[in-house]
C-alpha cells in the first residue's frame, strides 16, 4: 500500500480557467479524488465557492457582447481549433478517464473521440442552420441568448464538455461550465486542450470563447439562480450525485 | 427568466422482436445494458423479450456473459469496470437487493464484489429474469450493470410495456424484419430509438420525453437551444 502511494505522486488541482487563464481558486474546501479501480487517493481538488462562480460569470458576461457578434466563419474556426486541440490529446484524455473515473478502455476510446468529433459536427450544423430569414420588409435573425451555464456529469466528462461547449460556441454564447468535481483531473487535461486551441487563435475573440471554472463545488449551481440577469441558459446533463466530501 | 435544457436519466427499453437473431441480438442487448459499465443515461436496462422465447434468451444471455468480463478498466478486453465511487457501488448493491426482495430471479451476478476485485468499487454484472415492469428495478435508473428481462405477449404488449415508464430518453428495437422494427420504433415515446444496435449520429437530436428532460442537444437542434429569434420590421 505504501509503495503504491509513494509511486504515484498525489496531484493537486487548485485552479479554474477564466478568461483564457488558469487562476487560483478562491474557495478553500478540499475534496479527495479516488481511483475507483483500487480505492487509492490520487489527487486533491480545491472546490470553488460562490465567489469563484461570480468571477467566472462576470468574465463570461463581459466577453459576451463581442463574442455574440462573431460570424459563422469565426465560430467555425474556433470549433476547428477545438477539434484539433482535443484530437491532439486523445490518448491523454483516455488515460485520465481510465484512471480517475474507471472508464473501460473499450468505451473511453470511442467516447473521447466522439468528443473531439462533436466540434466538427457542430460546425456542419452551424452552416446548415440559417441564422437569418426574411420576407417582405421583415428580417428575423437568431441571436445568441447570452451567457450559457453548462453543467455536466461524471460519466463521460470529456464528451459532455465538448458537446455542450460546441453547441454554445456555434450559437455565439460565452459559457460558464460546471463539470463534476469528481472529474477534476479529466477536466484539467481538457482545459489544457481549450487553452491550446485559444493560443492558436486567429481572431481576438477566440481566446474568449471559453470561460469556465474547473472542478468547482456543486454550490456553484445554486448561485446561478441568484444572478438572474447573467446566466441565460442553464444546460445540464445528470449523473447520480455521489460526491464524497471530507 | 431562465431558459433551460435538461438531459436527465433513463430506463430505456430494448424490445427484442420475436424474429430477432439471438446470435446478434443478445450480444447487442448486453452491450447496450453494460455500456460505460452501466453508468450511461442511454443504457438499455429493460430487455423486453417474447414470452415464448424466454428459455432460449436465458441460455443465450448466460452463454454470452463471458464476452463481458469485469476487471481492470485499462485492460482493452475489460467490458465492465468499477463504479465511480463507493457511494455508487452501494447504490447498485441496494438495487440488486431490492430486485431479489421483490421477487425477481437472478440469472447471473448478484450482490457483492466479483472474486479477486475486492480493492475497487467493482460490482458483479447482473441479469435479472422474471422481472415485472412494476418492480423497482424496472422503474428506477440504477446507473450500474444491472439488466432486467421482462416478457411480453405480442408487439402491442411490448410497446405498452416499453412506454410504461416515467422516462423516455432512449429506446432500442432488435429484429430481422426491418419494416416491422420501424413500425414498432415509431410507436415508442423516446427521444432516440435505435434499431439493431447502439447507434449514434451527431446531427440527430438527443434528449428525452417525459421525465428524461427538456429540449435537445446535438446538431441544429442543439444550437437552436442557445438562440433567440429577433424580428426587425420596417
B168-197 per-position pLDDT tens digit: 999 999 999 999 999 999 999 999 999 999
Report d(CA A213, CA B26) in Å as an integer: 43
Which chain A residues touch B74 with a CB distance below 8 Å?
37, 98, 105
Q: Domain total for chain B?
A: 1
Is residue B209 assigned to a domain?
A: no
Is residue B181 assigned to a domain?
A: yes
Is residue B44 assigned to a domain?
A: yes
The closest of B136, B153, B158, B154 to B47, measured between CA atoms, is B158
Report d(CA A206, CA A225) in Å as an integer: 28
pTM for the whole structure: 0.91
Q: Which stretches does DSSP call E strand in B17-169?
A: 44-50, 105-110, 124-129, 146-152
A150-174 per-position pLDDT tens digit: 888 999 999 999 999 999 999 999 8
Is residue B96 assigned to a domain?
A: yes
Q: Would you say residue A233 has pLDDT above 60?
A: no
pLDDT at A47: 87
Which band of pLDDT confidence, cut at 50, 70 and 90, is reported for residue A201?
very low
The closest of B103, B5, B104, B18 to B54, measured between CA atoms, is B18
Query: What is the rounded average pLDDT of the residues A86-106?
Result: 98
B130-151 per-position pLDDT tens digit: 999 999 999 999 999 999 999 9
Residue, of B19 and A21, whose pLDDT is higher: B19
Is residue B61 assigned to a domain?
A: yes
Is residue B226 assigned to a domain?
A: no
Which chain A residues touch B82 with a CB distance below 8 Å?
36-37, 102
* Full domain range(s) for residue B149: 9-201
- Please name the helix (run of DSSP H) or strand (run of DSSP E) that holds residue A150, with its range, or none: strand A147-151
CATH of the domain at B63: 3.40.309.10
Which chain B residues touch A118 with a CB distance below 8 Å?
202, 218
Q: Would you say residue B160 has pLDDT above 90?
A: yes
Report d(CA A101, CA A152) in Å as an integer: 14
pLDDT at A120: 98
Report d(CA B197, CA B153) in Å as an integer: 23
Most B CBs within 10 A among A235, A244, A246, hence the mutation to make, goes to A235
pLDDT at A99: 98
- For residue B124, the Cα-to-chain-centroid distance in whole angstroms is 17
Domains of chain A: 11-236 (3.40.605.10)
Q: Would you say residue B79 has pLDDT above 60?
A: yes
Report d(CA A154, CA A181) in Å as an integer: 8
B92 CA to chain A: closest CA distance, Å?
Answer: 11
Cβ atoms A34, A194 nearer than 8 A? no
B174 CA to chain A: closest CA distance, Å?
Answer: 22
Residues of B recognised as catalytic: 7, 41
**ipTM associated with this complex:** 0.96
Amino acid at each position: 500500500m505504501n509503495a503504491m502511494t509513494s509511486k504515484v505522486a498525489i496531484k493537486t488541482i487548485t485552479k479554474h480557467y477564466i478568461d483564457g487563464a488558469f487562476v487560483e481558486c478562491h474557495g478553500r474546501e478540499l475534496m479527495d479524488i479516488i481511483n475507483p479501480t483500487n480505492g487509492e487517493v490520487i489527487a486533491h481538488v480545491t472546490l470553488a465557492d460562490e465567489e469563484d462562480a461570480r468571477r467566472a460569470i462576470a468574465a463570461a458576461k463581459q466577453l459576451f457582447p463581442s463574442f455574440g457578434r462573431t460570424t459563422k466563419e469565426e465560430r467555425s474556426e474556433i470549433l476547428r481549433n477545438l477539434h484539433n486541440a482535443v484530437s491532439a490529446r486523445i490518448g491523454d484524455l483516455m488515460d485520465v478517464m481510465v484512471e480517475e473515473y474507471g472508464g473501460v478502455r473499450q468505451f473511453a476510446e470511442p467516447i473521447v473521440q466522439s468528443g473531439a468529433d462533436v466540434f466538427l459536427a457542430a460546425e456542419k450544423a452551424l452552416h446548415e442552420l440559417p441564422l437569418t430569414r426574411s420576407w417582405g420588409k421583415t428580417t428575423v435573425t437568431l441571436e445568441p441568448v447570452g451567457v450559457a451555464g453548462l453543467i455536466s456529469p461524471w460519466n463521460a466528462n470529456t464528451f459532455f464538455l465538448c458537446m455542450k461547449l460546441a453547441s454554445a460556441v456555434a450559437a455565439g454564447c460565452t459559457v460558464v461550465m460546471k463539470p463534476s468535481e469528481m472529474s477534476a483531473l479529466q477536466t484539467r487535461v481538457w482545459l489544457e486542450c481549450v487553452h491550446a486551441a485559444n493560443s492558436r487563435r486567429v481572431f481576438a475573440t477566440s481566446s474568449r470563447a471559453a470561460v469556465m471554472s474547473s472542478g468547482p463545488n456543486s454550490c456553484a449551481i445554486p448561485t446561478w439562480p441568484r444572478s438572474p440577469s447573467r446566466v441565460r441558459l442553464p444546460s445540464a446533463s445528470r449523473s447520480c450525485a455521489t460526491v464524497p466530501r471530507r | 427568466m431562465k431558459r433551460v435544457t435538461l438531459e436527465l436519466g433513463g430506463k430505456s427499453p430494448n424490445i427484442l422482436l420475436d424474429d430477432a437473431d439471438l446470435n446478434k441480438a443478445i450480444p447487442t442487448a448486453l452491450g447496450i445494458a453494460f455500456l460505460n459499465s452501466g453508468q450511461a443515461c442511454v443504457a438499455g436496462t429493460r430487455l423486453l423479450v417474447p414470452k415464448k422465447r424466454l428459455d432460449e434468451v436465458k441460455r443465450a444471455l448466460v452463454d454470452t456473459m463471458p464476452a463481458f468480463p469485469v476487471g481492470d478498466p485499462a485492460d482493452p478486453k475489460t467490458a465492465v469496470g468499477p463504479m465511480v465511487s463507493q457511494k455508487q457501488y452501494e447504490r447498485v448493491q441496494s438495487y440488486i437487493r431490492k430486485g431479489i426482495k421483490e421477487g425477481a430471479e437472478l440469472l447471473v451476478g448478484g450482490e457483492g464484489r466479483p472474486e479477486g476485485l475486492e480493492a475497487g468499487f467493482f460490482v458483479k454484472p447482473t441479469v435479472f429474469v422474471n422481472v415485472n415492469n412494476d418492480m423497482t428495478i424496472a422503474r428506477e435508473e440504477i446507473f450500474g450493470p444491472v439488466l432486467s428481462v421482462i416478457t411480453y405477449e405480442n408487439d402491442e404488449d411490448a410497446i405498452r410495456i416499453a412506454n410504461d415508464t416515467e422516462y423516455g430518453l432512449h429506446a432500442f428495437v432488435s429484429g430481422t424484419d426491418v419494416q416491422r422494427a420501424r413500425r414498432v420504433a415509431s410507436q415508442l415515446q423516446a427521444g432516440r430509438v435505435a434499431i439493431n444496435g447502439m447507434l449514434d449520429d451527431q446531427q440527430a437530436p438527443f434528449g428525452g420525453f417525459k421525465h428524461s428532460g427538456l429540449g435537445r442537444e446535438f446538431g441544429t437542434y442543439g444550437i437552436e437551444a442557445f438562440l433567440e429569434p429577433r424580428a426587425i420590421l420596417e
